[in-house]
Amino acid sequence: MRILVLGGDGYLGWPVALHLSARSHEVVVVDNFLRRNYDLELGLGSLVPIATLQRRVARWKEVSGREIAMHVVDITDGYATKRLIEEVRPEAVIHFAEQRSAPYSMIDRAHAVHTQANNVVGTLNLLFAIAEVDPSIHLVKLGTMGEYGTPNIDIEEGYLEVTHRGRSDVVLYPKAPGSFYHLSKVHDSHNIHFACRAWGLMATDLNQGVVYGQATEETAMHPDLATRFDYDHVFGTVLNRFAVQAALGIPMTVYGKGGQTRGMLDIRDTLACVELALANPPSAGQLRVFNQFTETFGVLELAERVSKVVGGAEIAHISPPRAEAEEHYYNPAHTKLLDLGLRPHLLDDDTILSLVELGRRYGAGVDQSVMLPTIQWRRPGPPATGDAGH
Amino acid sequence: MRILVLGGDGYLGWPVALHLSARSHEVVVVDNFLRRNYDLELGLGSLVPIATLQRRVARWKEVSGREIAMHVVDITDGYATKRLIEEVRPEAVIHFAEQRSAPYSMIDRAHAVHTQANNVVGTLNLLFAIAEVDPSIHLVKLGTMGEYGTPNIDIEEGYLEVTHRGRSDVVLYPKAPGSFYHLSKVHDSHNIHFACRAWGLMATDLNQGVVYGQATEETAMHPDLATRFDYDHVFGTVLNRFAVQAALGIPMTVYGKGGQTRGMLDIRDTLACVELALANPPSAGQLRVFNQFTETFGVLELAERVSKVVGGAEIAHISPPRAEAEEHYYNPAHTKLLDLGLRPHLLDDDTILSLVELGRRYGAGVDQSVMLPTIQWRRPGPPATGDAGH
């Protein structure tokens, strides 16, 4: 299959591109290096050194004998996006090309506007390009479990059957997300839903949970193929961050009580889920939604798991920077990918230990000043002096 | 009350500004004349001649003795928007400053992107400015009944009580709108909902139906105070357009069977609804949603009403340009504004006749070439030769 991976230089885009290339798909990666620019803007960096995209692609050819083509395109440029789709003529587009950090979107007005404009406009351009060039291209779009928020009812996969005053309908699952980033994904979902209804496009929305892990079968083949690993308070996801804190012997920072419960998955399962979505496309006019995670964990529970694995590590409950419930009901469905054959890598001690070991191996390069949260959800003003973010 | 009217040069913004000024509020209008620019872009124009905003404001002072201040600001400029809120320090902001035509948003990719970026970014800037300057400013935001689409269940006012697998929650009413314009309003609603939850802002979302009519008590006081009246296929709303067609003796163009049912209201009721929302603010942290219409009508039913009033007029069923159900269930709630004291102007023959007479009076200036729909919902490409829109 000819597959375009947008955001193919990122934490997940790059391993997905390698995984699909290794399985004989014809892979084209596209990026505009916005993610690496955010690092420059905020003074952050990957724990694990990462090669340039050019070097990654060259090394992959050397190691595997397979070619991955690369294009530098900003998909907020509608003309460039259409030309890209015309030239590559993919059978599927995997769309990772969005600003993906909730804290980043909450820095201030400019970052909220950037996040929503970048994500919504890029996705709109892509929808138009697919509809104009070839409506049978399967759009595989990365959404997030965070779109749902934490409702008091069970979370279903994308849709909800509602009976109301004696009548019934199936509606898009109502969303109440907790950041301007998560909201941008809700906007995307509504736009994609409409494009499927009006133009007959076919799309899969992967509402992904929090991903942990770093090594995949392919990225482990050579240091130049490694994917990034973020431990900072802006882009570092919870388990990855805890593992680095434990490795350095500094307290794992739990926001408030730590009763926030989230769906999570191993990076290797992200690859498998994307592959399953590609192999089982939806029908024309259908927006199919999968909840892409394998287990739910409480944040404090995760810190305790890490502590146990390393034989004791300190846990610090810090003032919660986010506007979110510290304890809540959470019961999201996640059967559709299992029904397609997903065999999850559930979180085990070995995986936790491998992350801690990553932290130990690269610990000398860690900048501890970027690990404590400084972006405040409840205060919309520009950052006070001393805040990170500028 | 000191009130900022954003989009105060528009079809509804201007009459609302006059109405509030006449009732002794201190009114400041803001516009960037985007609406008049769309006319220039598409070769359209108001049926009724309209004065410049400067002339309108000067005439109002002469006629009423009251001052309306005006500012030219584009609210997609975040710095200018914050400075505006800081300088005016309003108690309430009425937000009409959005691209408001569904067909305009469906012309092509660029118009879809413009509509969503303009509307979403403008509203985000406003939310940040209010939160940073004074969170107690009451935001009165114009939404649209079109956000809901046409679900098979009763439409409630903004929220839905859901019981699912033995548990209950109150959620934002699920939306399935039918254009990139209507989608932009759904995006706004989600963003505003979050800003109320995270920052404690207070907002009223007025999900307005299709407005008809042109004259209000204040606009009728002098020709320079008249508000615009659109009869074209891009900005002209259904009853206004039918009245002009009947006045000219050309067929009223019903899209398909005409079983599309919509909530509608008299322009004079728009003024009353905004006034009621201002006089009864929500509490801090609350996004209150009102469905702002007074009656529902089928499109064919409206054409038949006009035909009867003028003693017979032709009705043409034309190929439907939009992706929408031609017949559907529609039962939207609209009690909250009535509970606050709204006394509706229900559609009567005199109102229809006044619109037809407007069409007769200004009929010589009508450009019939802009009355037939040429923007196609089902075909996302650039306009074919001969299409309007460029």
* Pairwise pLDDT comparison (B201 vs B379), residue with the higher score: B201
Say whether B185 is catalytic: yes
Whole-number Å distance between alpha carbons of B102 and B112: 9
Read off the pLDDT of residues A160-208 as tens digits, 9 standing for 90 and up: 999 999 999 999 999 999 999 999 999 999 999 999 999 999 999 999 9
What is the predicted pLDDT for the residue at B379? 83
Q: Which amino acid appears at position B173 of this protein?
A: Y
β-partners of residue B211 are: B265
Task: Please return the burial class of A165, using the count of CB atoms within 10 Å of its CB with bins 0-12, 13-18 and 19+.
Answer: exposed
Side-chain-side CA neighbours of residue B15 (13 Å): 27
Interface probe for A, chosen from B172, B183, B375 (most Cβ of A below 10 Å), is: B183
Cβ atoms of B140 and B277 within 8 Å: the answer is: yes
Whole-number Å distance between alpha carbons of B37 and B41: 6
> At what angle are helices B109-133 and A78-88 packed, to 10 degrees?
130
Is residue A383 in some structural domain? no
Read off the pLDDT of residues B335-349 as tens digits, 9 standing for 90 and up: 999 999 999 999 999
In order, the DSSP letters of A71-124 are EE--TTSHHHHHHHHHHH--SEEEE--S---HHHHTS-HHHHHHHHHHHHHHHH
Judge: B117–A112 Cβ closer than 8 Å, yes or no. Answer: no
The dihedral region occupied by B256, where left means phi > 0, alpha psi between -120 and 50, and beta the remainder, is left
Whole-number Å distance between alpha carbons of B74 and B385: 33
Count of A–B CB contacts within 8 Å?
Answer: 169
In this prediction, residue A16 has a pLDDT band, given cuts at 50, 70 and 90, of very high
Distance from CA of B318 to the nearest CA of A (A): 19
Active-site annotation of A, residues: 144, 181, 185
Is residue B105 in some structural domain? yes
Is residue A380 in some structural domain? no
β-partners of residue A26 are: A2
Q: Which residue of A has its CA nearest to B382?
A: A132
Q: From the candidates B38, B104, B173, B181, which is the catalytic residue?
A: B181
What is the predicted pLDDT for the residue at B386? 41
β-partners of residue B255 are: B318
Read off the pLDDT of residues B97-152 as tens digits, 9 standing for 90 and up: 999 999 999 999 999 999 999 999 999 999 999 999 999 999 999 999 999 999 99
- Which ranges of B220-371 would DSSP assign to H, the alpha helix? 238-248, 267-279, 299-309, 336-339, 349-361
Is residue B381 in some structural domain? no
Whole-number Å distance between alpha carbons of A142 and A146: 12
What is the predicted pLDDT for the residue at A380? 85
Sign of the C-alpha dihedral computed for residues A370, A376, A380 and A386 taken in this order: negative
Let me know how long chain A is: 390
Chain A hits for B330, Cβ within 8 Å: none
- How many structural domains compose chain A? 1
Is residue B49 in some structural domain? yes
- ipTM above threshold 0.95: yes
CATH of the domain at A126: 3.40.50.720
The pTM is what?
0.97
Q: Name the residue range of residue A323's domain.
A: 2-370
Is residue B389 in some structural domain? no
Is residue B386 in some structural domain? no
Is residue B348 in some structural domain? yes
Distance from CA of A19 to the nearest CA of B (A): 33
In order, the DSSP letters of B233-264 are TTT--HHHHHHHHHHHT--EEEETT-B-EEEE
What is the predicted pLDDT for the residue at A381? 67
Side-chain-side CA neighbours of residue B86 (13 Å): 9
